[in-house]
Amino acid sequence: MRRPGFFRCLKQAALAAALACGLVLPAQAQAQLSGNDLVAATLLAEPSDIRGGEPFWVGVRLRMAEHWHTYWRNPGDSGLATEIRWTLPAGFTAGPIVWPVPERIPVAHLVNYGYEGEILLLTQITPPAQVPAQVALKADVNWLVCQKECIPGEASLDLALPAGAGMANPATAAAFATARQGIAQPSPWSARMATTTDGYVLHVAVPGLRADRIHSAAFLPHQEAMIEHAAAQPMQVEADRLTLTLKRGSFAAAGLPQQTGGLLVLTEDTGGTQQRQAFEFTEIAYGAAAPMMAAADGAAILQAVVLAMLGGILLNLMPCVFPVLSIKILALVGHAGAGRAQMRRHGLAYTLGILLSFGALAGLLLGLRAAGAQIGWGFQLQMPLVIAVLAYLLFAMGLSLSGVFHIGGRFAGIGEGLAQRGGYQGSFFTGILAAVVATPCTAPFMGAATGFALTQPAAIGIAIFLALGFGLALPFLMLTFVPQLADRLPRPGIWMERVKQALAFPLYATVAWLIWVLSQQVGQQGLLAAMLGLVLVAAAAWSFSLQGRAAAIGAAALLLVAGGALYGTARDAAVPGTAVAQVSPAGQTVEAFSRQKLDRLLAQQQPVFVNMTAAWCITCMVNERTALSSDRVQQAFRDRNIVYMKGDWTNQDPDITRVLEQNGRSGVPLYLFYAGGQSVVLPQILTPAIVLEHLDLLDRVGARGQQQKSASLSNLTRSVQP
């Protein structure tokens, strides 16, 4: 993260700046030199005049005194990037600074990135279609210039250009041509990054790479605190791939970094001479879709398997799974008179249905991510067609439980099976249904396990997801295999019919919730088609309850028309709206998540709480109502001036997917709190006490980290002064 405003704090409070930056001169030296004595700043324009609507280039030229340097956009272990603030006429806009490739500058035991001699920092200006006869450009430039000591400097630069044909200025042509030669080329290669225990592994696909010609390689990240800049970057060159191992920075958060752009600087041996080339990556893909690194050690894999299984067990208590499990247990009570072997076969069929479903979902997820798709766990619920089909299925199950029709021995009876072989197919398909309806819910332990699974080779990843499925199946499986537990079940009786009818209402409630989710994924016509489809499903169920071949044909025809309604739903996707701030029911201002907005707030040292959620995530909804909207939490947000930001993953959003991956998660919910240059990931099940505890914890850690950083930088200052 960049650290803006350090030079301003130097001006306003020299002693505080010394502690915060460790970048000061002795008092006598300060009296003798200033940043403007050591750096000469000039504003240049490439054209001699401006043509309306035609972008043009300007540049701030900095000429440093001998042995002194200024800094790149990422200054490295210390220092401060040069800043340019433009004042332009109405209708003119300025682009970002185009940075030349920096040099690595050792300072004691640290490494900085910067420039010596002379540089030209380019910026593109875009004028409106109509420009005045004379255009005044103003640039306020701030820099930090260092040798063994560091001094801030500033300049206000002015330049006037007339309107004209946009002709090139011969007097500045050479300067701009030289500046462009020092800029990194956009990378023609793809790159991916994965995490290790203490850093990252960067994989760059370089077709036709000759290992014997690569003398050295280094990655210079855009993000300031991402790596230890002075640490070695071991290089491995294989056929068509270059790999660098990077050490995580002391102040970097665990997991993948917030930004992954940077420069790859290659030094090649060409006929006895060394030639340096730099290639810029604006963003690098994350490790789940990267060429997979070596699998984690056995202990880490075992831990992930155990966590996944525990998460699967707890999924049975979630509101999306509990009704289905209750129906299956009710069916087991109905089989109480059957032999133990038959009950065990029901348990195994149910388990097999869950395992096959989880294996198929995991395989599809890993395959799509390997192909470059930005998706995570629960991705199928981002598809309106899946939501609508699930609503139809649960509605039909509810109608059956309410007695509208009886599927019995011909189709998948809710606790009695599909018909053949004693109803084992019913148990198998109930397992599939349990797996499908479990995906909107997230249980404790589950997020860390699934996030870890997506960073591993496919075989290990699928094994972890199967452990999650086995945990989901385990309670019912134990009932069928442990006679002592089965004996505690109540005996069959008339009460079963009453309970079965009552269990229809949680299913109807789930259908209502699914339709609400669908309303946020499709337009009005698509929503109307889905609700008409529910009416057709009800009509088909009623027709099926009648006797005779004609009734069965009528039911089939109605279901066919309901399938047409599904088509109408799927083709009417909602048009994404503009993300704007809203006010929650608790009265809090909720900022819509965007990567740019988050980066801007963090650059301003603004504490931010990020809530990654989705309409189909029941766990997310419960956490928002019971914890995040509580008076205590809201008051804590106000007292700390915390910006509350919400990311909606109901529909696919690559930016949110990347944030999930950066923090080792494969799905929502995800809760992040940023403060004092630190960040923390909160648990997936929240209470007001848990939220407040993490807010207090990060406050203490951030204050302690700032003290340690100030002391370290002060020691550095003393060590480099003559």
User: Does residue 344 share a domain with residue 242?
Assistant: no
Instruction: Give the position of tokens 């999650």.
Output: 468
What value does the mean pLDDT take over residues 327-337? 63
Rounded Cα distance between 184 and 128, Å, is: 29
The answer to whether position 545 is within a domain reads: no
Q: Are 400 and 517 within one domain?
A: yes
Judgement on whether residues 51 and 121 belong to the same structural domain of the protein: yes
CATH number at residue 125: 2.60.40.1250
Amino acid identity of 705?
Answer: G
What CATH number corresponds to the domain at position 235? 2.60.40
Is the pLDDT assigned to residue 358 strictly greater than 80? yes
- How many Cβ atoms from other residues are within 10 Å of residue 618's Cβ? 18
According to DSSP, the residues that pair with 119 across neighbouring strands are 62
Token pair recorded at residue 304: 């992930």
pLDDT tens, residue by residue, 1-31: 334 333 334 333 332 333 333 344 443 444 4
CA dist 649 and 621 (Å) reads 13
Last residue within a domain, chosen from 270, 289, 308: 289
Whether residue 507 sits in one domain with residue 453? yes
401 near 413, Cβ under 8 Å? no
38 in a domain, yes or no? yes
693 and 627 in one domain? yes
Reply yes or no on whether the pLDDT at 719 is more than 50: no
| Cβ contact 143:39 at 8 Å | yes
User: 191 phi and psi, to 5 degrees?
Assistant: -140, 150
Q: Are residues 203 and 152 in the same domain?
A: no
Reading the block at residue 32, the tokens are 């003798």
How many other C-beta atoms are found inside a 10 Å radius of the C-beta of residue 627?
Answer: 20
- Domain's final residue, options 232, 256, 289: 289
Per the structure block, which two tokens stand in for 466?
Answer: 């199967």
pLDDT at 710: 45
Residue 210 CB-density burial (10 A; 0-12 exposed, 13-18 middle, 19+ buried): exposed
With beta carbons less than 8 A apart as the criterion, state whether 278 and 101 touch.
yes
DSSP 105-139: EEETTEEEEEEESEEEEEEEEE--SS--SEEEEEE
DSSP letters spanning 47-108: BSSB-TT--EEEEEEEEEPTT-EEEEEEEESS----EEEEE--TT-EE---BPBPPEEEEET
How far is 381 from 388, CA to CA, in rounded Å?
10
pTM for the full predicted model: 0.48
Do β-strands 241-247 and 285-286 pair in parallel, antiparallel, or remain unpaired? unpaired
Most confident of 158-162, 281-285, 629-633: 158-162
CATH number at residue 601: 3.40.30.10
* 47-56, 226-235, 298-307, 579-588: least confident range: 579-588
Determine the pLDDT at residue 50: 95
Q: Give a yes or no: residue 327 inside a domain.
A: yes
For residues 388-405, one letter each, b for 16 or more C-beta atoms within 10 angstroms of the residue's C-beta and e for the rest, the string is: bbbbbbbbbbbbbbbeeb
Cα distances from 499 to residues 327, 331, 333, 393, 492, in angstroms, run 9, 11, 12, 20, 11
Element (H, E) at 200: strand 199-205
| pLDDT tens track for 577-595 | 444 445 555 556 788 898 7
On whether residue 214 sits in a domain, the answer given is yes
Phi-psi region of 66 (alpha: psi -120 to 50; beta: other; left: phi over 0): beta
Q: Which residues, in sequence order, are CB contacts of 500 under 8 Å at separation 6+?
A: 327, 330, 401, 414
Model confidence over 560-570: pLDDT tens digits?
Answer: 888 888 877 87
Q: What is the mean pLDDT of the chain?
A: 77
Question: Is residue 116's pLDDT more than 70?
Answer: yes
| Res. 132: pLDDT tops 80 | yes
Question: Contact 72/146 with Cβ under 8 angstroms?
Answer: no
| 226 & 175 share domain | no
Task: Give the pLDDT score at 319.
Answer: 61
Q: How many domains in the chain?
A: 4
Task: Give, rounded to a whole angstrom, the gap between the first and last alpha carbons of the chain.
Answer: 31
Is residue 547 in a domain? no
- Distance between CA atoms of residues 706 and 713, nearest Å: 10
Mean of the pLDDT values across residues 405-414?
Answer: 46
Q: Which of 412, 295, 436 is nearest to 354 (CA)?
A: 436
Q: Mention every residue, 6+ apart, whose C-beta is less than 8 A from residue 180.
A: 122
Angle CA 92–94–98, to nearest 5: 155
Q: Which residue has the higher pLDDT, 611 or 307?
A: 611
The reply to whether 271 and 312 lie within a common domain is no
Query: Do 121 and 62 meet the contact criterion of CB atoms below 8 Å apart?
Result: yes
* DSSP per position, 256-321: S-S---EEEEEEEEETTEEEEEEEEES--EEGGGSSP-PPPPHHHHHHHHHHHHHHHHHHTTSTTT
Per-residue pLDDT at 143 = 93
Order of strands across the sheet with 214-221?
Answer: 185-186, 273-281, 262-270, 214-221
How far from 100 is each of 103, 110, 179, CA to CA, in Å? 10, 21, 7
pLDDT of residue 412: 36
The pLDDT of 635-663, averaged and rounded, is 84
Residue 83: φ, ψ to 5°: -120, 145
Considering the domain architecture, whether residues 229 and 316 belong to the same structural domain is answered as no
Q: What percent of the chain has pLDDT over 90?
A: 23
Pairwise CA distance, residues 594 & 352, whole Å = 41
Q: Is residue 166 part of a domain?
A: yes
Q: How crowded is residue 27: how many other Cβ atoms within 10 Å of its Cβ?
A: 8
Residue 569 maps to a domain: no
Q: Rounded CA gap, 715 and 102, in Å?
A: 26
Residues 347 and 444 in one domain: yes
pLDDT digits (tens, 9 = 90+) for 501-516: 787 788 788 888 888 8
Residues 307, 267, single domain; the answer is no
Calculate mean pLDDT across residues 81-104. Answer: 93
Domain hosting 122: range is: 6-183
Structure tokens at 217: 């390689």
Q: Which of residues 167, 183, 199 is at a domain's end?
A: 183
The Cα 24–Cα 720 span in angstroms is 11
Do residues 179 and 50 share a domain? yes
The number of residues in the chain equals: 722
The answer to the question of residue 40 being in a domain is yes
